[in-house]
Every structure is written in structure tokens, then in C-alpha cells.
Homo-oligomer: A and B are copies of this chain.
Amino acid sequence: MTFTAPAAPLTLDNSDRLQLQPLDMPERLLLGPGPSNADPAVLASMNRQPIGHLDPAYLQLMDEVQTLLRYAWQTKNTLTYPVPGTGSAAMEATLANVVEPGDVVLVAVKGYFGHRLVDMAGRYGGDVRTISKAWGQAFELGELRQALETHRPKVLALVHAETSTGVRQPLEGVGDLCHQYDCLLLVDTVTSLGGVPIFLDQWQVDLAYSCSQKGLSCPPGISPFTISPRGLAKLDERKTPVANWYLDTTMLRKYWGNDRTYHHTAPVNMTYALREALRLLAEEGLEARWHRHQTNAEKLWDGLEDLGLKCHVDREFRLPTLTTVRVPAGIDPKALTRHLLQHHNIEIGGGLGDLAGQVWRIGLMGANSYPKNVDLLLEALQRSLSALG
């Protein structure tokens, strides 16, 4: 035999063989930028045996998820499906599929996730151009028009709900501009899907992505993705293969389409969870859901004001899902988040990037957007500020 035993026999090393107790994790009220708490019905749905990813029962589940995602996003795009990864994977999926080396990609950067789009687009060979806005502001239509005129991009990418700043970017009219300049419109809806009004088709969005763990109240690990017929036309015209196997829509469309051709082993139990999350969204209805988020956010904003705290973003452009609050003078922002976690079991987020140390980020998303959570947080904030002030 060519394969003989090696000189030294193989020996088992048990030094990393930890003997652990069953999992025990603290249960927090997650009011940061995400993950947010999941709906208990969603969590329960994962406590169920997986099924084969080509089982007839699973294929039906896939259809339900696709239909409900179309409802959630208000799109008729056939290729609307969840990417088997967290939100950043779905973000990368949009760029990986439509950007070819040399394509001009214009990114409108007004926060951390705009920079991430720039980083990703560059990795796919995009000729990336940017326009920037201070963290806390939204772009005006005229600014976008001027940038399109200057750069003539193949893709305009921008963030609808910037998780790092709490800004809602208005999208009315942007799709018309993109048609006028013959470019695709790519939109990040990570912190808006399921919590903030979105009308993808009426806004003429060509590519969008989101996550599961915010407005949809599902754990993280599976992420909505959609591409319009215009986006597919760009994909079909590619001269080079998609430079990412896992996220390649030319193959995934055969699994999510009628062929049902095996591509990857689906994250079955995460798909159960997403199906339940979307079922609950459809049961509540988008209008009721959006109204609930707006009402509870306004209650939060008023309460913060009563505590003498100031929101970072003008009310007109504030996201109902994610609020940035200015850190008042004399308070160590990290000491406060630590105090909230240790003494009140509540997680909120700190500032990222340009806003590091300047703001806290408070999320009221999905199953967490209820008045009682606003009250809990405001009381805990007041106590923590007093303790540290």
C-alpha cells in the first residue's frame, strides 16, 4: 500500500476537551442597534428537527418565505429570497452580482454602512466614487442628481436606514433619477425592513438587502435579498462570472426558481424562524407595524427630551427603529452602557465611527417596539445617569 502508517502513531490530544454545562445565557432586553429580541413564537419554531433542503415540505416553505418577503418589501421581484448568512452577506450579494471590474459605482456615504459598501464594491473591482454627508444628515435629491451627472455610474448605492446615525434617507424621486441616468439603484434596508415604510417597486429600487434580527424579530443568520428585472438584465450581461460562489444569483436562481437545483445546504432552522417572523408581520400588517414603530419612537423621543437628552438627528429624518442620542457632558458613554447592562439587564449601543463616544444608539424594533420597553428604558436611563452623573 502507498499509504502506510506514519512513523509515529496518531495520538489524541485532550487538552481542549472542555467539559461544560448545558448552555446558560442571560436574557437581556436588547435595545441596541441589533440583534433585537426575537418573538417567542419565532424562537420556538427553531426547536424542531431540520428537514432536507430538497424535501417537498421544505420547497413549499421556500415559496411562503419568498411571497411574504415580497409583501414585506412591497416588491414583485421574482428573485426575492433570503441569503444564507447575516446582513453583511446580503449586502455583499447585491454588489457581487451586479458589479463587474471597471464598473463605476457611486456610493452616497453618510455613515458607517456607506463606508462598508465602498469597501465591498472595491473588492469586486468597482471604480468606486463617493459623495459624503455629515453623519446625522440625509442627502437631498439635488445632491444625488449632481453626483449622477458627474460620475455617470452603473450603480448608485445608498443606505435607507443608516444604523450608525439613525438617519432615514428619503427615497422619493431617486428611482426616477436613476432611470434618467441609466443606473441601478441599490438600497440598504437593514434597519428599516419590518419597521419603517418601504415601497421598493414604487421607489424603483433594483437591489436591496436586509437582515432578520431587527424589524423582523428573528435571530440573526439569514438575510433578505432582492433583485429587479433591470438588475437581472445587468447580471445576464456580465462578461465575467460572479466573483463569489456562495452568493452567485446565476446559480441561486436555479434553487429558488422552478428548477430547484441543489446549490448549498440551506440554513433550514433559520428559514423556519424567518418564515414565522414574516408570518407574524403579515398577521399584524405593514401599516399597523409601521404605525406602532413610529408611535413608540415618538414616545421615546419625548421621554429622552424630558430627561434633558438631545437626539442627534432632526426629527424629520429620524428612524423610528434606531435613535441616536447625544452623550451629555460629564458622562462616560461606555460607563453608562455597562451600567445599563449590569444593573438593568438592558443593552443599548455606543457610537460607531465618526460618532464614537458622542452618541448612544437605541433600538426599538419589531417585538421590542412597545410602550412598556420605552418606559423600562427611560427609567433605567434616568437611574444610570444619576448613578454616574
Contact = CB atoms under 8 A, between A and B. Distances in A.
Interface of chain A, main secondary structure: loop
A180 interface: no
A34 B51 CA distance: 9
A352 B262 CA distance: 10
A86 B222 CA distance: 11
Given A87-B265, A173-B6, A211-B265, A123 B241 contact: yes
A285 B16 CA distance: 11
Contacts of A329: none
A387 interface: no
A27, A48, A221, A270 pick with most chain B CB within 10 angstroms: A221
Contacts of A38: 49-50, 269
Nearest to A163: B265
Contacts of A85: 84-85, 89, 246, 267
A25 to B, nearest CB: 6
A150 interface: no
A19 to B, nearest CB: 6
A358 B128 CA distance: 50
B268 A71 contact: no
B3 A68 contact: no
A55 interface: yes
Given A22-B41, A265-B86, A270-B267, A197 B10 contact: yes
Q: Which 7 A-B pairs have the closest CB atoms?
A: A221-B267, A16-B71, A47-B47, A219-B269, A2-B140, A3-B170, A46-B46
21 contacts: A4-B172, A5-B172, A6-B173, A12-B74, A23-B276, A25-B51, A28-B51, A35-B50, A44-B47, A46-B47, A52-B347, A55-B341, A85-B85, A88-B246, A88-B263, A213-B268, A220-B266, A220-B267, A220-B269, A221-B267, A221-B270
Interface of A: 2-6, 10-14, 16-20, 22-23, 25-28, 30, 32, 34-35, 37-38, 41, 43-53, 55, 57-58, 61, 64, 67-68, 70-71, 74, 84-89, 92, 116, 119-120, 122-124, 140-142, 170, 172-173, 197, 199, 202, 211, 213, 219-222, 241-246, 262-270, 272-273, 275-276, 279, 282-283, 285-287, 341, 347, 352
